[in-house]
Amino acid sequence: MKQLFDILSYSCVVIAIALTALALLANQFGWSLYLEIFSHFQVQYFFITLVLAGISLLLRHTGLLIVLFCTAILSAQVIPWYLPSHLGHLPANYRVLVANLNFSNNDATQTLSLMAAEQPDLALFIEVGRTMVTQLDALKTEFPYSTYLAAADGIILYSKSPLSNIQLQQFGLHARESLVANLTVGENLLSLVAVHPLPPIEHRMFQSRNTLLADAEDYIKTQTEPVLLLGDLNITMWSPYYQALIQQTQLKNAREGFGIQATWPRLGSYYRLPTWFQWLIAPLQIPIDHCLVSPEIKVANIHTGIDTGSDHAPIVVDLVIPTA
């Protein structure tokens, strides 16, 4: 039995070291497709090493300190997202909703319920199919400044505030067109950028996503107004490509101080899989839907909304737009 415990204890140490090395390598040097994939699961690596630390503690093995050290290293990728970025309550004055509805989702009932429950001032829908577009037309009355300009690429924007200079921008290689506009909130003029890069599941799509983010970065740096960058970016905060975007634009992720808020994968209703399957995929969820804002714009809160029948959870962000 002692020999079995020793094997188990040493296995915990080896696995903890391997996971930590993989996490850091992918986070810092994941510029290639197959290495970057591993950068997205920092939360999972952290919780696995926590379990390994618990096992090592029960076994009272000398390798416990090594496993705890690995856990501490990985915690630095996760815990800071939960640390408040400001003290006290901020009075929000603008609510944004971002939801990837998935082209295979043809029933807008849950989406309309989401809109009624959250009451956003601006709603960006991604992967909106033709059937869904027709059903969402009912929102135009409440959101008179909506635009379907990017509907061919599955992007629809509903706004209660005036939109101007609405344009399509071709960011990236082999990519869907993105939507840019000026948004007037009170007396403030904001620059809105809505994007949806291709999922990086093979080299061509990987290049497409990365070049789209790079082109969007160049566009954002030319803007003189505060920026809202919204969309399903198909990337997490731990990718070096995401970190390059943040470093160059100085945008802030609305999640900062409010936790990871994973959005994908959810159990889309069109899969027709049993609901218990959600429990199996829940540990694999990662945050790929984002709201990034300029430093002038503060974030009062962010949460994920109710299911829309898609494989993505919507995000709802309460912002503090500075008064002129």
Chain segment 55-73, per-residue pLDDT in tens: 888 877 777 899 999 999 9
The per-residue pLDDT for 6 is 64
With beta carbons less than 8 A apart as the criterion, state whether 246 and 253 touch.
yes
- The three-class DSSP label of residue 122 is strand
| pLDDT tens string 129-154 | 999 999 999 999 999 999 999 999 99
Q: Residue 17 and residue 4: Cα distance in Å, rounded? A: 20
The per-residue pLDDT for 322 is 85
Pick from 13-27, 83-97, 155-169, 202-216: least confident = 83-97
The per-residue pLDDT for 146 is 93
Question: Residue 274 — pLDDT band, cuts 50, 70, 90?
Answer: confident
The per-residue pLDDT for 222 is 96
The per-residue pLDDT for 276 is 73
User: Does the pLDDT of residue 323 top 90, yes or no?
Assistant: no
Q: Residue 292 burial by CB count (10 A; 0-12/13-18/19+): exposed, middle or buried?
A: buried
Query: How large a percentage of the chain has pLDDT more than 70?
Result: 95
User: Which is higher by pLDDT, 155 or 186?
Assistant: 155
Mean pLDDT value of segment 143-170: 95
What is the pairing mode between strands 94-100 and 122-126?
parallel
| Runs of H (alpha helix) within the chain | 2-29, 33-36, 42-59, 64-75, 109-118, 130-136, 203-221, 240-249, 277-281
User: Does the pLDDT of residue 205 top 90, yes or no?
Assistant: yes
Q: Residue 152 burial by CB count (10 A; 0-12/13-18/19+): exposed, middle or buried?
A: exposed
Pick from 13-22, 53-62, 168-177, 299-308: least confident = 53-62
What is the average pLDDT score of the chain? 93
The per-residue pLDDT for 270 is 60
Half-sphere exposure of 185 (CA within 13 A, CB side): 23
Question: Residue 238 — pLDDT band, cuts 50, 70, 90?
Answer: very high
User: Does the pLDDT of residue 2 top 80, yes or no?
Assistant: no
User: Does the pLDDT of residue 298 top 70, yes or no?
Assistant: yes
Residue 303 φ/ψ, nearest 5 degrees: -150, 165
Three-state secondary structure of 231-255? EECCCCCCCHHHHHHHHHHCCEECC
